[in-house]
Amino acid sequence: MNMQGIQSCHLGPGISPEQIVPEHFFLYILQGTMLVYNGEKHYEIGPGDCCIARKNHLLRYNKQQQNGDFKKIVIVLDEHFLKTFLTKHPSVSGTAEQDDSIVTMKSNSLLDSFIQSLAPYYKGEAEIEETFADIKREELLLILLQKHPGLANVFFNFSAPEKIDIEEFMSRNFRFNISLERFAFLTGRSLSVFKRDFRMVFNETPGRWLTRKRLEEAYFLIHNQNQKPRDIYLDLGFEDLSHFSFAFKKQFGQSPTKLHSVV
């Protein structure tokens, strides 16, 4: 997911559907529903729901409008802001509650009051002026840490991802269309070490393995679940339908459209 161009406190319908979360952010749904998938679990976030999307995780979003509209509040808790906060509140500490991509939380009176307090700052604009945004972000963070002290270990862990099981990670996340460099980073490796470890585990290059896994998944979805090629190619990491169709036919000897027509 690309958060570039989104200021720290953002109100409105727009949110990128892809894919890496580069900074922690707080999400509150005002209108509509957001379906979120992390490669393993699905989350449904509706009006009045809020959560934390965690840095260096892979997520995919699907927005569903309500009465023709979708509105949410996104507040980015970037590393620079969090380090500044920590200098002002050095006693903050906690233990991690979980290692999930999304930390869901129930609304409470403090959070409800905070959300309502944002309205005067927007004044019809999409972003809060940065001077006020930092004040409101600090207020939000104090509320979150009071209600969920375990978030301290999430927010104030500034280290790079640790080296993890490459087979488990790739088998869960092969559908995400990100670069090999990002796959390497998220598994705690340099690109060269990632490629070396990958070949040791899968006996295949990452590029070939990713293409094959995505095509096998596509075949299953079309043949076994009668899904249409145009409805699945983006979710499987292909950038356009023509490239997907070409690769599919090369792999299986027939186009995905033809396979779907005989199912």
Domain limits, the chain: 9-155, 166-262
3-class DSSP assignment, residue 25? strand
Position 93 scores a pLDDT of 64
Tell me if the domain spanning 166-262 has CATH number 1.10.10.60: yes
Position 243 scores a pLDDT of 93
**Mean pLDDT, 10 residues at a time, the chain of 263 residues:** 44 56 92 90 92 93 87 92 92 65 89 91 73 90 92 89 94 94 96 97 97 96 94 90 95 94 80
Could you tell me the strand order of the sheet in which 33-37 lies?
42-45, 33-37, 60-64
Identify the CATH number of the domain defined by range 9-155.
Answer: 2.60.120.280
Position 217 scores a pLDDT of 96
Separation between Cα atoms, residue 78 and residue 24, nearest integer Å: 6
CA torsion through residues 185, 177, 55, 129, sign: positive
pTM of the entire predicted model: 0.84
Amino acid type, 184: A
- Work out the angle between the directed axes of helices 130-147 and 79-88 (0-180°, nearest 10): 70
Task: From residue 208, give the alpha-carbon distance in Å to each of 3, 174, 252.
Answer: 29, 12, 15
Separation between Cα atoms, residue 66 and residue 64, nearest integer Å: 7
Separation between Cα atoms, residue 86 and residue 155, nearest integer Å: 10
Position 157 scores a pLDDT of 87
Q: In the 8-state DSSP scheme, what is residue 101?
A: S
Give the list of residues 6+ apart from residue 116 with CB closer than 8 angstroms, or none.
Answer: none
Residue count of the chain, please give it: 263
CB 138 within 8 A of CB 33: no
Separation between Cα atoms, residue 244 and residue 233, nearest integer Å: 7
